[in-house]
Chains A and B, each alone.
Chain A
Amino acid sequence: MNPFNYQRATSPEEALHAVSARGAKFLGGGTNLVDLMRYDVEHPTTLIDVTHLSFTQIANTGNITVIGAGVRNSDLANHETIRTNYPLLSQALLSGASPQLRNMATTGGNLLQRTRCSYFMDTTFPAFNKRVPGSGCAAIKGLNRNHAILGASNDCIATNPSDMNVALAALSATIHVTGPKGKRAIPITDFHRLPGDTPQLDTNLKPDELITAVELPAPKFAKHSYYLKVRDRQSYAFALVSVAAGLEMDGNTIRSAGLALGGVAHKPWRSLDAEKSLVGATAGPDAFKRAATLAVSGAEPREHNAFKVELAKQSIVRALTLAAQGVQA
């Protein structure tokens, strides 16, 4: 690990000033960044610890819930408001990582979690566009079982590994950030980006911007939601495919739907077409299969991950079925 300077920011202004130094990075729980520093993938010159800022509250304003960027994953998952109004988010968070890591990881940090592509994490592979732009993508012709089937490019087929992000996409969250040019709000679907020809950029956040909060709109899916995570192990593994499904029901008729996939793309893959197809439909296999087909339309599997297309479709049907059944007593 390269040497670095460490400082604790006591105010957002101080944090923003400090991050303007060359090579400086914000530090949340450290579960991803410190790990990548130890793998020699990340080489920050300065770490600015932002976990002592005041962004550690979960506040309700009317029907809107605002989650501070410093709230730890375990606290967020178990917060009464989240459990009651956004169980989809609780379930997604609790299906990720381990209890120890969830105690450390922050909301803001989880949004910026980097890919688990093994060619990214192992620096002995020289070709990796996320590490060295222009060097190529070793995964396209390599072992790509865990890689993207949707929205990828010829420069990158990495996936976003977060579970939280998938739930936030289905819940239409908004990310609040602050920077030298002031504050701005970014819808979750515009926060992460597709790789295109600049896969070194995971998100549209500027390097000098700090995430302050995540805003959730009025809850619609509190009674009918499910986060289904399909993986090689029952626990403590990243998703091959995951589905965040939320339904707003009127009897057996769907009034509105939120549907996003994890493990399949460079960003949480929300399908507005699939969501629209569900509105007004009767909950059941026909509507769910139609939505599943729409959600994976345009999929371009690689040599080892063609199974993900069918897995995603089946998982969507199952997640929507479980969501429609509703909260069990």
Chain B
Amino acid sequence: MSSQRCTDIEDQEDQLEDTLSDQPTSPTDIELSRRTFVKAAGILGAAVATGIPHLAAAEEAQAAAATTPQMLSVTLKVNGTAHALSLDTRTSLLDALREHLALTGSKKGCDHGQCGACTVLVDGRRVNSCLTLAVMANGAEITTIEGLAKGDELHPVQAAFLEHDGFQCGYCTPGQICSAVALLNEHKHNTLSTVSFETGHTTHPELTDNEIRERMSGNICRCGAYPNIVAAVRAVAKGASA
């Protein structure tokens, strides 16, 4: 048992040396090498730390170490362009967009699906790209903030956020805008919210301010630009229905 573990650790040290001997050739390579290094160091540390005490913990560590990273070929169609990538299964869609495709408009806020800064559209539906594994989005049509404008012509929601000053620091804004674009489309398809039930308007509810607030509740703004965000969404909704 313990000799087996030693062998594992030696293997990991070899892997670590291999990792360190990689010569980065591009920014992406640098990122990958750094991540691989951190990961390899983490496994090594965990194996050493769990060397003696609990059998259960040791077995757990072995089970964890038994799984090596799996790389899969993934095709992401982002803003109309297909990208073929080879990705560690652990890569979130958000990290694939930001770190592998250099589309840094989508932001990493909480990385736990709580803040909405990473909101993108997958097959037209708004999702948290931080909780979406890139492999889950294989073959899907993805739209990010970078894909909303047509050349120099802003998407109406982008223009409305400028017009109504729907931000301060701007970090949550790409997620807010992607979310608002989806909101307007969902409303066209007569979706309800919990406010629709509270107000009793469960057929074709109007986009009142309360409806907009509820439907935008998955996007947090720490600057508190909410009144102006609601104003921007309201303006586009009114324009769309006029």
Contacts and interface: CB of A to CB of B under 8 A. Distances in A.
The answer on A and B forming one complex is: yes
Interface of A: 1-6, 22-23, 27, 30-31, 34-35, 38-39, 43, 45, 47, 49, 51, 74, 77-78, 83, 87, 90-91, 94-95, 97-101, 103-104, 226-227, 229, 235-236, 327-329
Nearest to B90: A1
17 contacts: A3-B69, A4-B89, A5-B70, A6-B70, A30-B133, A34-B131, A43-B63, A74-B191, A94-B194, A98-B116, A99-B215, A100-B113, A101-B128, A104-B128, A229-B194, A235-B194, A235-B214
Q: Which 7 A-B pairs have the closest CB atoms?
A: A98-B218, A328-B200, A235-B217, A3-B69, A6-B89, A236-B217, A95-B194
A7 to B, nearest CB: 9
Contacts of A99: 126, 179, 182-183, 186, 215, 217-218
Main secondary structure of the interface of A (DSSP, over half): mixed
Nearest to B138: A8
A27 B136 contact: yes
A78 B89 CA distance: 32
Most chain B CB within 10 A, of A43, A97, A103, A327, is at A103
Interface string B179-197: 1001100100111111011
B132 interface: yes
Nearest to A236: B217
Contacts of B183: 99
Contact of A94 (B69, B119, B125, B193): B193
B90 A4 contact: yes
A35 B116 contact: no
B12 interface: no
Nearest to B197: A91
Given A77-B192, A94-B197, A104-B127, 9 more contacts: A3-B89, A23-B63, A31-B131, A39-B112, A45-B66, A94-B192, A95-B194, A99-B126, A104-B128
Contact of A100 (B89, B133, B218): B218
B13 interface: no
Interface string B87-98: 011101000000
A13 B196 CA distance: 41
Nearest to A329: B200
Contacts of A95: 194
A2 B72 CA distance: 16
A260 B182 CA distance: 33
Contacts of B64: 2, 43
A2 B62 CA distance: 12
A327 B202 CA distance: 9
Nearest to A78: B191
B135 interface: yes
Contacts of A74: 125, 191
B99 interface: no
A3 B70 contact: yes
B88 to A, nearest CB: 7
A38 B69 CA distance: 15
B70 A4 contact: yes
B3 interface: no
B187 to A, nearest CB: 11
